[in-house]
Amino acid sequence: MSATHKTFNTVLIGLGMVADTHVAAIAGLNGKIRLKGIYARGQQAAQDYAVKVTSISDYPCKVYSSIQAIADDNELDFVIIATPPNARLELVKIFTKANIPILMEKPVERTSAAALEIVNVCETSNTPLGMVLQHRVRPASLKLQQLITAGELGQLAMVNVQAPLWRAQSYYNELGRGTYKRDGGGVLISQAIHTLDLMLSLTGDVADVQAMSRTTTLHQMESEDFVTAGITFKNGAIGSLLATTASFPGGTECITLHYDKAVAKLDRGVLDILWYDGRTDSYGENSQVTDASDPMDFQASWHGSVINDFADAIVEKRAPLATGREALKVHQLIDALTASSKQQKTIKLID
């Protein structure tokens, strides 16, 4: 792999809902990334999609006949895996053997144990593994991280996380969606994982949780569509969580952090700082969600920032914005929330 690049070649594996976002994100990087090809189990669907990609690009997008054919392509700089989480491990083994860096859609896998196996495979082979956890790269999130790192907000005392989302039953009628076998669960691992990961990046580790997880009568599905929990953080702060896909018509994910100098609120891509001395500051995109029930109602540029960072990380031989190892923390938190509800007791993550 060359030390400098004008253009990075990648392949998108999986043509689910997020595929269009990746295509748009790559197109928005002004030629830095080239989507050389795609792969999907349905070859006709892949052929049709390749025609679509080619029509909006200035280069042809090819269809690979197999995963091994991708691994054998020595022109690739990295691959993007956007398959369901139950179809990851064998792909990872093939690409690590070929020494091809991997950028992967969340989650790493369905459980912490399975996710750890993937991370270990990549680390053992020294293969870069980055995660698409795009909430971290939103301007408001980056600004809040800057303020926290500088210590300007003071000591964290309380955290409130809300993800009051809505998904119609038609969303869960897709084969495998919301099942433990394919997805690994419901609202926690499929939707709230982004908000929980962002929370952890801002608050630090969780010490223990006490949760209730249920499926409301509004959905017919195997896993949970409602979770509420109390959280204790390693730094002594306490907090609460509400995550659901049963809140019609759907609201926005919001993280509110109460410090001893100010309250910081992340909502709809905007950071509001309410200082106790009466000052107020606002940063961010001033974006409005157009359809809170739409799972794809977010900006492709966030994915673009993650993809751009991963490409730079490869050349600079540094860790990407969100590594597979870092993503294990949100997996462990989700497992703890699920276990707490099932066992009806507090679950400790840190002794």
- DSSP, residue by residue, 150-190: TTTT--EEEEEEEEE-B--HHHHTSTTTT-TTTTSSSHIII
Q: Region 183-210: what's the mean pLDDT?
A: 97
Give the pLDDT band (50/70/90) at residue 1. very low
pLDDT band at 5 (very low <50, low <70, confident <90, very high): low
Identity of residue 220? Q
**290 vs 332: which has the higher pLDDT:** 332
Query: 284-315 burial, b if ≥16 CB within 10 A, otherwise e?
Result: beeeebeebbeeeebbbbbbbbbbbbbbebbe
Q: How far apart are CA 173 and CA 178, in angstroms?
A: 9
Q: What domains lie within the chain, and their CATH numbers?
A: 8-134+302-323 (3.40.50.720), 136-298+330-348 (3.30.360.10)
How sure is the predictor about 268, in pLDDT bands with cuts at 50, 70 and 90?
A: confident
Please state the rounded mean pLDDT for residues 220-249.
98
Residue 56 has what pLDDT?
87
What percent of the chain has a predicted confidence (pLDDT) above 70?
95
CA torsion, ordered 10, 194, 270, 237, to nearest 10 deg: -140
Q: How confident is the model at residue 346 (pLDDT cuts 50, 70, 90)?
A: very high
Using one digit for the tens of pLDDT, what is the confidence trace for 285-309?
755 544 555 554 558 999 999 999 9
3: pLDDT strictly greater than 60: no
> pLDDT tens-digit profile of 82-105?
999 998 999 999 999 999 999 999
Mean pLDDT of 184-204: 97
Q: What is the rounded average pLDDT for all residues in the chain?
A: 94
* SS3 track for 245-289: CECCCCCCCEEEEEECCEEEEEECCEEEEEECCCCEEEEECCCCC
Tell me what pLDDT residue 297 has.
53
pTM comes to: 0.92
Question: What is the predicted pLDDT for the residue at 286?
Answer: 58
pLDDT tens-digit readout, 101-158: 999 999 999 999 999 999 999 999 999 999 999 999 999 999 999 999 999 999 999 9
Cross-strand bridge partners of residue 34: 9
- Cβ atoms of residues 248 and 225 within 8 Å: no
Report the alpha-carbon distance of residue 327 to residue 3 in Å, rounded: 27
Residue 249 has a CB neighbour count (10 Å cut-off) of: 9
The per-residue pLDDT for 291 is 55
Q: Give residue-wise pLDDT tens across range 12-42.
A: 999 999 999 999 999 999 999 999 999 999 9
